[in-house]
Chains A and B, each alone.
Chain A
Amino acid sequence: MDAKLKQESPPDMARKECMRLLARASFEELNAAWEALADKPDVSPVRGPETGLVMVRGRIGGGGDAFNLGEATVSRATVRLSTGEIGHGQLLGTDKQRARLAAIFDALFQRDANRAAVEALHRQIASRIDTEDRRTAEETAATRVDFFTMVRGDD
Chain B
Amino acid sequence: MYVAVKGGEAAIANAHRLLADRRRGDRTLPSITIQQVVEQLGLAVDRVMAEASLYDRELAALAVRQARGDMIEAIFILRAYRTTLPRFGYSEPVDTATMKVERRVSATYKDLPGGQLLGPTFDYTHRLLDPSLIDDAAVEEPAVKEPGEHVMRVSDILDGEGLIEGDGRMPEGHVMGDLTREPMEFPMARDLRLQALARGDEGFLLALAYSTQRGYGRTHPFVGEVRIGEVEVELDLPELGFAVSLGVVRVTECQMVNQFMGSAKQPPQFTRGYGLVFGQSERKAMSMSLVDRALRTDEFSEDIVAPAQDQEFVISHADNVQATGFVEHLKLPHYVDFQAELDLVRRMRRDYDAARTGSQDGMKEAAE
The answer to whether A67 and B55 touch across the interface, beta carbons within 8 angstroms, is no
Q: Does A123 contact B (CB under 8 A)?
A: no
Q: What is the CA–CA distance of A111 and B232 in the complex, to the nearest angstrom?
A: 28
CB distance from B89 to the nearest CB of A (A): 6
Which of A19, A62, A143 is B96 in contact with, Cβ under 8 Å? A62
Q: A57-B93, A60-B191 are in contact. Are A90 and B240 (CB under 8 A)?
A: no
A67 CB contacts on chain B under 8 angstroms: 176, 190-192, 194-195
The answer, yes or no, to whether A152 is at the interface (CB within 8 Å) is no
A6, B58: Cβ atoms closer than 8 Å: no
Alpha-carbon separation in the docked complex, A26 to B199 (Å) = 29
Q: Is the pair A143, B56 in contact by a Cβ cutoff of 8 Å? A: no
A153 at the interface (CB under 8 A from B): no
Whether the pair B143, A6 counts as a contact (CB closer than 8 A) is no
Q: What is the distance, in angstroms, from A32's C-beta to the closest C-beta of chain B? A: 20
Are B253 and A62 within 8 A (Cβ)? yes
For residue B142, CB closer than 8 A to chain A, the reply is: yes
Query: Complex formed: what's the CA distance from A115 to B86 in Å?
Result: 33
Closest to A143 in B: B118
B103 interface hit (Cβ, 8 Å): yes
Interface residues of A in 1-16 (CB under 8 A from B): 2-4, 6-7, 12, 15-16
With A16-B244, A65-B191: A56-B233 Cβ-Cβ less than 8 Å: yes
Q: Can you name the residue of chain B whose Cβ is closest to the Cβ of A3?
A: B241
Closest to B105 in A: A145
Of residues 91 through 117 on chain B, the ones whose CB sits less than 8 Å from some CB of chain A are 91-97, 100-103, 110-111, 115-117
Query: Measured between alpha carbons, how far is A84 from B237 in the docked complex, in Å?
Result: 20
Task: Indicate if the CB atoms of A62 and B55 lie closer than 8 Å.
Answer: no
Known: A6-B242, A70-B50. A58 touches B93 (CB 8 A): yes
| Interface status of B335 (Cβ within 8 A of chain A) | no
CB of B235 closer than 8 Å to a CB of A: yes
Chain B residues with CB under 8 A of A62 = 96-97, 153, 155, 167, 253, 255, 274, 276
With A65-B170, A72-B91 already in contact, 4 other A-B pairs whose C-beta atoms are closer than 8 Å = A57-B176, A61-B272, A68-B176, A90-B244
Instruction: List chain B positions with a Cβ less than 8 A from chain A.
Output: 49-50, 53-56, 58-59, 82, 85-97, 100-103, 110-111, 115-121, 142-148, 153, 155, 166-170, 174, 176-180, 190-192, 194-195, 198-199, 232-233, 235, 237-249, 251, 253, 255, 272, 274, 276, 278
Q: List 24 A-B contacts (CB under 8 A).
A: A3-B241, A3-B242, A6-B240, A7-B242, A16-B244, A23-B245, A52-B86, A52-B87, A53-B54, A53-B82, A56-B91, A61-B255, A61-B272, A62-B276, A64-B170, A67-B191, A69-B195, A70-B54, A72-B55, A72-B249, A92-B247, A93-B58, A133-B100, A140-B147
